[in-house]
Structure 1
Protein backbone atom coordinates (compact mmCIF):
# COMPACT_ATOMS: atom_id res chain seq x y z
CA UNK A 1 0.00 0.00 0.00
CA UNK A 2 1.90 3.05 1.22
CA UNK A 3 5.63 3.64 0.92
CA UNK A 4 8.05 5.63 3.08
CA UNK A 5 7.97 9.39 2.70
CA UNK A 6 10.58 11.20 0.67
CA UNK A 7 12.61 13.18 3.20
CA UNK A 8 14.45 15.46 0.79
CA UNK A 9 12.67 17.94 -1.45
CA UNK A 10 15.03 17.29 -4.37
CA UNK A 11 13.91 13.65 -4.44
CA UNK A 12 10.41 14.83 -5.40
CA UNK A 13 11.69 15.83 -8.86
CA UNK A 14 11.60 12.22 -10.04
CA UNK A 15 8.73 10.99 -7.84
CA UNK A 16 5.44 10.79 -9.70
CA UNK A 17 3.40 9.23 -6.93
CA UNK A 18 5.06 5.87 -6.26
CA UNK A 19 6.56 5.75 -9.73
CA UNK A 20 9.98 7.10 -10.64
CA UNK A 21 10.19 9.26 -13.76
CA UNK A 22 13.23 10.54 -15.58
CA UNK A 23 13.16 14.14 -14.41
CA UNK A 24 11.26 17.36 -13.82
CA UNK A 25 10.11 17.66 -17.42
CA UNK A 26 8.42 14.27 -17.48
CA UNK A 27 6.87 14.78 -14.06
CA UNK A 28 5.54 18.20 -15.03
CA UNK A 29 3.99 16.81 -18.18
CA UNK A 30 2.26 14.03 -16.25
CA UNK A 31 1.03 16.39 -13.53
CA UNK A 32 -0.30 18.79 -16.17
CA UNK A 33 -2.31 15.93 -17.62
CA UNK A 34 -3.85 15.19 -14.23
CA UNK A 35 -4.99 18.76 -13.70
CA UNK A 36 -6.27 19.22 -17.24
CA UNK A 37 -8.49 16.21 -16.59
CA UNK A 38 -9.74 17.30 -13.17
CA UNK A 39 -9.97 21.10 -13.62
CA UNK A 40 -13.76 21.22 -13.78
CA UNK A 41 -14.02 18.91 -10.77
CA UNK A 42 -11.21 20.41 -8.69
CA UNK A 43 -13.38 21.44 -5.73
CA UNK A 44 -14.99 18.01 -5.75
CA UNK A 45 -11.52 16.47 -5.82
CA UNK A 46 -10.48 18.42 -2.72
CA UNK A 47 -13.71 17.46 -0.99
CA UNK A 48 -12.94 13.80 -1.67
CA UNK A 49 -9.31 14.06 -0.60
CA UNK A 50 -10.10 15.85 2.66
CA UNK A 51 -13.64 14.78 3.49
CA UNK A 52 -14.70 18.40 2.96
CA UNK A 53 -12.24 19.71 5.54
CA UNK A 54 -10.20 21.62 2.95
CA UNK A 55 -12.67 24.50 3.21
CA UNK A 56 -11.97 24.95 6.93
CA UNK A 57 -8.23 24.53 6.35
CA UNK A 58 -8.22 27.27 3.68
CA UNK A 59 -10.15 29.55 6.02
CA UNK A 60 -7.51 28.87 8.70
CA UNK A 61 -4.74 29.73 6.25
CA UNK A 62 -6.26 33.08 5.32
CA UNK A 63 -7.00 33.82 8.99
CA UNK A 64 -3.30 33.21 9.84
CA UNK A 65 -2.27 35.45 6.94
CA UNK A 66 -4.60 38.15 8.32
CA UNK A 67 -4.28 40.43 5.28
CA UNK A 68 -4.74 44.15 5.99
CA UNK A 69 -7.60 46.17 4.53
CA UNK A 70 -5.32 48.24 2.30
CA UNK A 71 -5.77 48.77 -1.45
CA UNK A 72 -1.99 48.70 -1.98
CA UNK A 73 -1.72 45.19 -0.50
CA UNK A 74 -0.46 42.82 -3.18
CA UNK A 75 -0.41 39.04 -2.99
CA UNK A 76 0.59 36.18 -5.26
CA UNK A 77 -1.31 32.89 -5.14
CA UNK A 78 0.64 30.14 -6.90
CA UNK A 79 -0.91 26.93 -8.22
CA UNK A 80 -4.22 28.57 -7.41
CA UNK A 81 -5.81 28.50 -10.84
CA UNK A 82 -9.41 28.02 -9.72
CA UNK A 83 -9.14 31.08 -7.47
CA UNK A 84 -10.30 29.53 -4.21
CA UNK A 85 -7.58 31.04 -1.98
CA UNK A 86 -7.43 34.32 -3.90
CA UNK A 87 -11.16 34.89 -3.52
CA UNK A 88 -10.88 34.35 0.23
CA UNK A 89 -7.98 36.80 0.57
CA UNK A 90 -9.75 39.52 -1.41
CA UNK A 91 -12.94 39.09 0.60
CA UNK A 92 -10.93 39.14 3.86
CA UNK A 93 -9.63 42.60 2.90
CA UNK A 94 -13.16 43.84 2.12
CA UNK A 95 -12.30 43.67 -1.58
CA UNK A 96 -9.40 46.13 -1.22
CA UNK A 97 -6.41 43.86 -1.94
CA UNK A 98 -5.17 42.99 -5.40
CA UNK A 99 -3.76 39.63 -6.30
CA UNK A 100 -2.06 37.66 -9.04
CA UNK A 101 -3.19 34.08 -9.47
CA UNK A 102 -0.49 32.04 -11.18
CA UNK A 103 -0.82 28.50 -12.45
CA UNK A 104 1.02 26.40 -15.00
CA UNK A 105 -2.24 24.87 -16.13
CA UNK A 106 -4.44 26.89 -18.52
CA UNK A 107 -7.49 24.75 -17.81
CA UNK A 108 -7.34 25.59 -14.12
CA UNK A 109 -6.85 29.29 -14.87
CA UNK A 110 -9.85 29.30 -17.17
CA UNK A 111 -12.05 27.96 -14.39
CA UNK A 112 -10.72 30.59 -11.98
CA UNK A 113 -11.14 33.54 -14.33
CA UNK A 114 -14.72 32.53 -15.05
CA UNK A 115 -15.50 32.23 -11.35
CA UNK A 116 -13.86 35.58 -10.59
CA UNK A 117 -16.05 37.29 -13.18
CA UNK A 118 -19.19 35.72 -11.69
CA UNK A 119 -18.17 36.97 -8.23
CA UNK A 120 -17.27 40.41 -9.64
CA UNK A 121 -13.73 40.01 -8.39
CA UNK A 122 -12.06 40.22 -11.78
CA UNK A 123 -11.08 43.84 -11.03
CA UNK A 124 -9.08 42.64 -8.03
CA UNK A 125 -7.38 39.67 -9.65
CA UNK A 126 -5.06 38.93 -12.55
CA UNK A 127 -4.70 35.38 -13.85
CA UNK A 128 -1.25 34.50 -15.21
CA UNK A 129 0.03 31.28 -16.75
CA UNK A 130 3.48 30.51 -15.46
CA UNK A 131 5.83 28.06 -13.76
CA UNK A 132 6.42 28.20 -9.99
CA UNK A 133 10.06 27.27 -10.60
CA UNK A 134 10.66 30.37 -12.74
CA UNK A 135 8.10 33.07 -12.00
CA UNK A 136 7.57 35.64 -14.78
CA UNK A 137 7.38 38.37 -12.13
CA UNK A 138 9.76 41.05 -10.80
CA UNK A 139 11.78 40.92 -7.59
CA UNK A 140 10.38 42.35 -4.34
CA UNK A 141 6.87 42.89 -5.66
CA UNK A 142 4.41 41.10 -3.32
CA UNK A 143 3.42 41.41 0.33
CA UNK A 144 2.40 37.75 0.49
CA UNK A 145 2.93 34.51 -1.41
CA UNK A 146 0.41 31.73 -0.88
CA UNK A 147 0.21 28.22 -2.26
CA UNK A 148 -2.39 25.62 -1.27
CA UNK A 149 -2.18 21.94 -2.19
CA UNK A 150 0.15 22.76 -5.05
CA UNK A 151 3.78 22.60 -4.00
CA UNK A 152 3.95 18.80 -3.83
CA UNK A 153 3.16 18.77 -7.57
CA UNK A 154 6.14 21.03 -8.41
CA UNK A 155 9.12 18.95 -9.58
CA UNK A 156 11.83 21.29 -8.25
CA UNK A 157 10.45 22.37 -4.88
CA UNK A 158 13.64 24.11 -3.78
CA UNK A 159 13.57 26.25 -6.93
CA UNK A 160 9.94 27.20 -6.23
CA UNK A 161 10.79 28.21 -2.66
CA UNK A 162 13.71 30.33 -3.90
CA UNK A 163 11.40 32.04 -6.39
CA UNK A 164 8.88 32.71 -3.61
CA UNK A 165 11.62 34.42 -1.63
CA UNK A 166 12.73 36.46 -4.64
CA UNK A 167 9.35 37.96 -5.53
CA UNK A 168 8.36 38.84 -1.96
CA UNK A 169 9.03 42.31 -0.65
CA UNK A 170 11.26 42.62 2.43
CA UNK A 171 8.90 41.89 5.30
CA UNK A 172 6.75 39.72 3.03
CA UNK A 173 5.07 36.51 4.16
CA UNK A 174 5.15 32.99 2.70
CA UNK A 175 2.27 30.64 3.52
CA UNK A 176 1.85 27.10 2.25
CA UNK A 177 -1.07 24.77 2.95
CA UNK A 178 -0.34 21.17 2.10
CA UNK A 179 -1.37 17.64 3.01
CA UNK A 180 1.15 16.33 5.52
CA UNK A 181 2.00 13.53 7.95
CA UNK A 182 -0.68 12.41 10.41
CA UNK A 183 0.65 12.40 13.97
CA UNK A 184 -2.18 10.53 15.73
CA UNK A 185 -1.75 6.70 15.81
CA UNK A 186 -5.40 5.74 15.30
CA UNK A 187 -6.19 8.53 12.85
CA UNK A 188 -3.30 7.62 10.57
CA UNK A 189 -4.67 4.11 10.04
CA UNK A 190 -8.19 5.34 9.29
CA UNK A 191 -6.90 8.01 6.91
CA UNK A 192 -4.58 5.54 5.20
CA UNK A 193 -7.44 3.15 4.51
CA UNK A 194 -9.69 5.96 3.26
CA UNK A 195 -6.99 7.36 1.01
CA UNK A 196 -5.85 4.17 -0.70
CA UNK A 197 -9.07 2.21 -0.81
CA UNK A 198 -11.88 4.73 -1.05
CA UNK A 199 -10.55 7.78 -2.88
CA UNK A 200 -9.36 6.05 -6.10
CA UNK A 201 -12.63 4.13 -6.27
CA UNK A 202 -14.68 7.31 -5.80
CA UNK A 203 -12.56 9.03 -8.44
CA UNK A 204 -13.28 6.17 -10.81
CA UNK A 205 -17.04 6.36 -10.21
CA UNK A 206 -17.54 10.13 -9.89
CA UNK A 207 -14.90 11.46 -12.28
CA UNK A 208 -14.22 8.33 -14.36
CA UNK A 209 -10.54 8.89 -13.65
CA UNK A 210 -9.02 6.44 -11.18
CA UNK A 211 -5.42 7.06 -12.26
CA UNK A 212 -5.43 10.78 -11.42
CA UNK A 213 -6.79 10.12 -7.95
CA UNK A 214 -4.26 7.36 -7.33
CA UNK A 215 -1.46 9.78 -8.20
CA UNK A 216 -2.84 12.46 -5.88
CA UNK A 217 -3.08 10.06 -2.95
CA UNK A 218 0.43 8.72 -3.58
CA UNK A 219 1.88 12.23 -3.98
CA UNK A 220 0.65 13.10 -0.48
CA UNK A 221 2.40 10.09 1.02
CA UNK A 222 5.66 10.88 -0.79
CA UNK A 223 5.82 14.55 0.24
CA UNK A 224 8.32 15.53 2.98
CA UNK A 225 6.85 15.66 6.46
CA UNK A 226 6.38 18.86 8.47
CA UNK A 227 9.90 19.02 9.92
CA UNK A 228 11.68 18.34 6.63
CA UNK A 229 9.57 20.78 4.65
CA UNK A 230 10.12 23.50 7.28
CA UNK A 231 13.87 22.93 6.89
CA UNK A 232 13.56 23.45 3.12
CA UNK A 233 11.76 26.75 3.70
CA UNK A 234 14.61 27.90 5.95
CA UNK A 235 17.18 26.91 3.32
CA UNK A 236 15.42 29.20 0.85
CA UNK A 237 16.24 32.13 3.14
CA UNK A 238 13.03 32.52 5.13
CA UNK A 239 13.10 33.35 8.81
CA UNK A 240 10.68 32.83 11.70
CA UNK A 241 9.61 29.60 10.01
CA UNK A 242 6.74 27.85 11.75
CA UNK A 243 3.93 25.43 10.99
CA UNK A 244 0.52 24.52 12.36
CA UNK A 245 -0.97 21.06 12.08
CA UNK A 246 -4.59 20.77 11.04
CA UNK A 247 -6.85 17.80 11.81
CA UNK A 248 -4.13 15.79 13.48
CA UNK A 249 -1.54 16.51 10.79
CA UNK A 250 -3.62 15.46 7.79
CA UNK A 251 -2.70 18.93 6.55
CA UNK A 252 -0.33 21.63 7.78
CA UNK A 253 0.13 25.35 7.19
CA UNK A 254 3.74 26.47 6.88
CA UNK A 255 4.77 30.08 7.42
CA UNK A 256 7.97 32.01 6.77
CA UNK A 257 9.03 35.64 6.52
CA UNK A 258 11.46 37.46 4.21
CA UNK A 259 13.29 39.65 6.74
Structure 2
Protein backbone atom coordinates (compact mmCIF):
# COMPACT_ATOMS: atom_id res chain seq x y z
CA UNK A 1 0.00 0.00 0.00
CA UNK A 2 2.79 2.44 -0.87
CA UNK A 3 0.48 5.14 -2.24
CA UNK A 4 -0.97 5.52 1.28
CA UNK A 5 2.24 7.31 2.26
CA UNK A 6 1.26 10.23 0.05
CA UNK A 7 -1.79 10.80 2.20
CA UNK A 8 -0.36 10.64 5.71
CA UNK A 9 -1.44 14.25 6.24
CA UNK A 10 -5.08 13.34 5.58
CA UNK A 11 -7.52 12.45 8.32
CA UNK A 12 -7.58 8.91 9.68
CA UNK A 13 -11.22 8.27 8.76
CA UNK A 14 -10.44 8.91 5.09
CA UNK A 15 -7.33 6.70 5.28
CA UNK A 16 -9.37 3.90 6.83
CA UNK A 17 -11.82 4.16 3.95
CA UNK A 18 -8.96 3.89 1.41
CA UNK A 19 -7.49 0.92 3.28
CA UNK A 20 -10.89 -0.82 3.18
CA UNK A 21 -11.51 0.04 -0.48
CA UNK A 22 -8.12 -1.35 -1.50
CA UNK A 23 -8.03 -4.27 0.94
CA UNK A 24 -6.94 -7.80 -0.05
CA UNK A 25 -10.16 -9.06 1.49
CA UNK A 26 -12.20 -6.92 -0.91
CA UNK A 27 -9.97 -7.95 -3.80
CA UNK A 28 -10.56 -11.66 -3.05
CA UNK A 29 -14.28 -11.04 -2.72
CA UNK A 30 -14.59 -9.02 -5.93
CA UNK A 31 -11.45 -9.58 -8.04
CA UNK A 32 -11.60 -6.42 -10.21
CA UNK A 33 -9.54 -7.74 -13.14
CA UNK A 34 -11.60 -10.95 -13.29
CA UNK A 35 -14.87 -9.06 -13.23
CA UNK A 36 -13.76 -6.54 -15.87
CA UNK A 37 -12.41 -9.30 -18.13
CA UNK A 38 -15.87 -10.93 -18.12
CA UNK A 39 -17.56 -7.71 -19.23
CA UNK A 40 -18.50 -6.79 -22.83
CA UNK A 41 -15.66 -4.24 -23.03
CA UNK A 42 -13.74 -3.79 -26.26
CA UNK A 43 -10.36 -2.14 -26.73
CA UNK A 44 -11.86 1.02 -28.30
CA UNK A 45 -14.68 1.47 -25.77
CA UNK A 46 -15.21 4.62 -23.71
CA UNK A 47 -15.89 3.70 -20.06
CA UNK A 48 -17.35 5.41 -17.01
CA UNK A 49 -16.84 4.44 -13.36
CA UNK A 50 -19.49 6.24 -11.27
CA UNK A 51 -18.62 6.51 -7.58
CA UNK A 52 -15.08 5.48 -8.51
CA UNK A 53 -13.78 5.70 -4.93
CA UNK A 54 -10.08 4.82 -4.77
CA UNK A 55 -10.06 3.43 -8.31
CA UNK A 56 -10.60 -0.23 -7.41
CA UNK A 57 -12.31 -0.75 -10.79
CA UNK A 58 -11.11 2.39 -12.59
CA UNK A 59 -7.51 1.14 -12.93
CA UNK A 60 -8.35 -2.30 -14.46
CA UNK A 61 -10.96 -0.56 -16.64
CA UNK A 62 -8.27 1.83 -17.93
CA UNK A 63 -6.01 -1.15 -18.64
CA UNK A 64 -8.76 -2.84 -20.68
CA UNK A 65 -9.31 -0.01 -23.20
CA UNK A 66 -7.18 2.29 -25.33
CA UNK A 67 -9.99 4.85 -25.19
CA UNK A 68 -10.98 7.15 -22.32
CA UNK A 69 -12.15 6.12 -18.85
CA UNK A 70 -14.07 8.69 -16.84
CA UNK A 71 -13.62 8.27 -13.08
CA UNK A 72 -16.39 10.10 -11.28
CA UNK A 73 -16.56 10.66 -7.53
CA UNK A 74 -17.90 13.53 -5.40
CA UNK A 75 -14.81 13.35 -3.14
CA UNK A 76 -11.81 15.24 -4.56
CA UNK A 77 -9.46 13.27 -2.28
CA UNK A 78 -10.59 9.96 -3.82
CA UNK A 79 -9.84 11.34 -7.26
CA UNK A 80 -6.34 12.28 -6.07
CA UNK A 81 -5.78 8.67 -5.02
CA UNK A 82 -6.84 7.48 -8.49
CA UNK A 83 -4.53 10.05 -10.08
CA UNK A 84 -1.61 8.73 -8.00
CA UNK A 85 -2.35 5.10 -8.92
CA UNK A 86 -2.67 5.98 -12.61
CA UNK A 87 0.77 7.65 -12.48
CA UNK A 88 2.28 4.59 -10.79
CA UNK A 89 0.87 2.34 -13.54
CA UNK A 90 1.74 4.75 -16.37
CA UNK A 91 -1.92 5.14 -17.39
CA UNK A 92 -2.88 8.38 -19.10
CA UNK A 93 -6.39 7.58 -20.37
CA UNK A 94 -8.27 8.38 -17.14
CA UNK A 95 -10.26 11.61 -16.86
CA UNK A 96 -11.26 12.61 -13.33
CA UNK A 97 -14.68 14.17 -12.72
CA UNK A 98 -15.71 15.51 -9.32
CA UNK A 99 -19.48 15.08 -9.35
CA UNK A 100 -22.39 12.87 -8.31
CA UNK A 101 -24.49 10.55 -10.49
CA UNK A 102 -27.48 12.85 -10.02
CA UNK A 103 -25.51 15.63 -11.76
CA UNK A 104 -23.94 13.51 -14.47
CA UNK A 105 -22.62 16.05 -16.96
CA UNK A 106 -21.16 13.72 -19.59
CA UNK A 107 -22.39 13.97 -23.18
CA UNK A 108 -25.43 11.81 -23.99
CA UNK A 109 -24.90 8.63 -26.03
CA UNK A 110 -21.12 8.79 -25.56
CA UNK A 111 -20.29 5.87 -23.20
CA UNK A 112 -20.00 2.17 -24.05
CA UNK A 113 -19.80 0.73 -20.52
CA UNK A 114 -20.69 2.05 -17.05
CA UNK A 115 -19.59 0.53 -13.76
CA UNK A 116 -21.69 1.38 -10.67
CA UNK A 117 -20.04 -0.48 -7.79
CA UNK A 118 -21.63 -0.23 -4.31
CA UNK A 119 -22.74 3.35 -5.00
CA UNK A 120 -26.44 3.24 -5.99
CA UNK A 121 -27.59 2.76 -2.38
CA UNK A 122 -26.01 6.16 -1.60
CA UNK A 123 -27.90 8.21 -4.21
CA UNK A 124 -30.83 10.43 -3.25
CA UNK A 125 -32.93 9.20 -6.19
CA UNK A 126 -32.31 5.80 -7.76
CA UNK A 127 -34.59 6.63 -10.71
CA UNK A 128 -32.72 9.85 -11.45
CA UNK A 129 -29.31 8.17 -11.15
CA UNK A 130 -30.26 5.29 -13.47
CA UNK A 131 -31.96 7.66 -15.93
CA UNK A 132 -28.78 9.76 -16.13
CA UNK A 133 -26.68 6.64 -16.74
CA UNK A 134 -29.17 5.50 -19.41
CA UNK A 135 -28.84 8.87 -21.20
CA UNK A 136 -25.03 8.89 -21.36
CA UNK A 137 -24.84 5.28 -22.60
CA UNK A 138 -24.77 4.61 -26.31
CA UNK A 139 -27.46 2.30 -27.70
CA UNK A 140 -26.09 -1.20 -27.09
CA UNK A 141 -23.99 0.08 -24.16
CA UNK A 142 -23.86 -1.86 -20.88
CA UNK A 143 -24.22 -1.00 -17.19
CA UNK A 144 -22.84 -3.24 -14.46
CA UNK A 145 -24.27 -2.66 -10.96
CA UNK A 146 -22.81 -4.18 -7.79
CA UNK A 147 -24.96 -3.87 -4.68
CA UNK A 148 -25.67 -5.42 -1.29
CA UNK A 149 -28.71 -7.70 -1.18
CA UNK A 150 -31.53 -6.41 1.02
CA UNK A 151 -31.59 -9.37 3.40
CA UNK A 152 -31.95 -9.11 7.18
CA UNK A 153 -29.62 -12.09 7.64
CA UNK A 154 -26.70 -10.20 6.08
CA UNK A 155 -25.07 -8.01 8.72
CA UNK A 156 -22.08 -6.67 6.75
CA UNK A 157 -22.56 -3.68 4.49
CA UNK A 158 -24.69 -0.54 4.61
CA UNK A 159 -27.83 -0.18 6.78
CA UNK A 160 -30.83 -2.21 5.59
CA UNK A 161 -32.88 0.95 5.19
CA UNK A 162 -30.78 2.17 2.25
CA UNK A 163 -29.97 -1.12 0.54
CA UNK A 164 -31.38 -1.88 -2.89
CA UNK A 165 -32.44 -5.50 -3.24
CA UNK A 166 -31.75 -7.21 -6.58
CA UNK A 167 -35.45 -7.47 -7.47
CA UNK A 168 -35.98 -3.76 -6.79
CA UNK A 169 -32.95 -2.86 -8.88
CA UNK A 170 -34.02 -5.07 -11.79
CA UNK A 171 -37.48 -3.51 -11.72
CA UNK A 172 -36.05 0.04 -11.67
CA UNK A 173 -33.68 -0.74 -14.56
CA UNK A 174 -36.49 -2.25 -16.65
CA UNK A 175 -38.80 0.73 -16.06
CA UNK A 176 -36.13 3.10 -17.36
CA UNK A 177 -35.64 1.06 -20.52
CA UNK A 178 -32.71 -1.23 -19.73
CA UNK A 179 -32.84 -4.91 -20.54
CA UNK A 180 -31.36 -7.24 -17.92
CA UNK A 181 -28.58 -9.37 -19.43
CA UNK A 182 -27.60 -11.38 -16.36
CA UNK A 183 -27.63 -11.41 -12.60
CA UNK A 184 -24.79 -12.94 -10.56
CA UNK A 185 -24.40 -13.60 -6.87
CA UNK A 186 -20.83 -12.78 -5.86
CA UNK A 187 -21.44 -14.02 -2.30
CA UNK A 188 -24.33 -14.04 0.19
CA UNK A 189 -24.14 -10.27 0.56
CA UNK A 190 -23.26 -8.88 -2.87
CA UNK A 191 -24.88 -9.36 -6.27
CA UNK A 192 -24.27 -7.92 -9.73
CA UNK A 193 -26.74 -7.01 -12.44
CA UNK A 194 -25.56 -6.48 -16.01
CA UNK A 195 -28.01 -4.47 -18.13
CA UNK A 196 -27.98 -3.17 -21.70
CA UNK A 197 -29.47 -0.07 -23.32
CA UNK A 198 -31.24 -1.55 -26.31
CA UNK A 199 -30.76 -0.20 -29.81
CA UNK A 200 -33.72 1.98 -30.70
Q: 1:47 to 1:106 in 2, by over 3 A?
A: closer
1:256 match: 195
1:150 match: 119
Question: Structure 1 CA distance, aligned partners of 2:57 and 2:22?
Answer: 15
Q: 1:78 to 1:179 in 2, by over 3 A?
A: same
Q: Which 5+ residue runs of structure 2 have no aligned equivalent? A: 1-10
Question: Structure 2 CA distance, aligned partners of 1:39 and 1:117?
Answer: 21
Q: 1:111 to 1:39 in 2, by over 3 A?
A: farther
**Relative contact order, CA 8 A, sep 6+: which one is greater?**
1
1:75 match: 47
1:207 match: none
Query: Which structure is larger by alpha-carbon Rg, 1 or 2?
Result: 1
Please report the TM-score for the alignment, with normalisation by the length of structure 1: 0.65
CA drift of 1:55 comes to 4.4
- 1:231 to 2:200 alignment: no
Please report the TM-score for the alignment, with normalisation by the length of structure 2: 0.82
1:33-57, Cα deviation, whole Å (9 max, x unpaired): xxx8744333432478xx8145442
Q: 1:46-195, aligned counterparts within 5 Å?
A: 46=21, 52-57=25-30, 58-70=32-44, 73-93=45-65, 96-121=66-91, 123-181=92-150, 189=153, 191-192=154-155, 195=156
Aligned CA RMSD, in angstroms, stands at 2.4
CA drift of 1:246 comes to 1.0
1:170-223, Cα deviation, whole Å (9 max, x unpaired): 1100111122246xxxxx75x53xx3xxxxxxxxxxxxxxxxxxxx631x5631
CA drift of 1:64 comes to 2.9
Question: Structure 1 CA distance, aligned partners of 2:148 and 2:191?
Answer: 6
Question: Structure 1 CA distance, aligned partners of 2:51 and 2:169?
Answer: 18
CA drift of 1:111 comes to 1.5
Question: Structure 2 CA distance, aligned partners of 1:60 and 1:253?
Answer: 14
Aligned residues: 187
Q: Which 5+ residue runs of structure 1 have no aligned equivalent? A: 1-35, 183-187, 196-215
Question: Structure 2 CA distance, aligned partners of 1:85 and 1:98?
Answer: 14
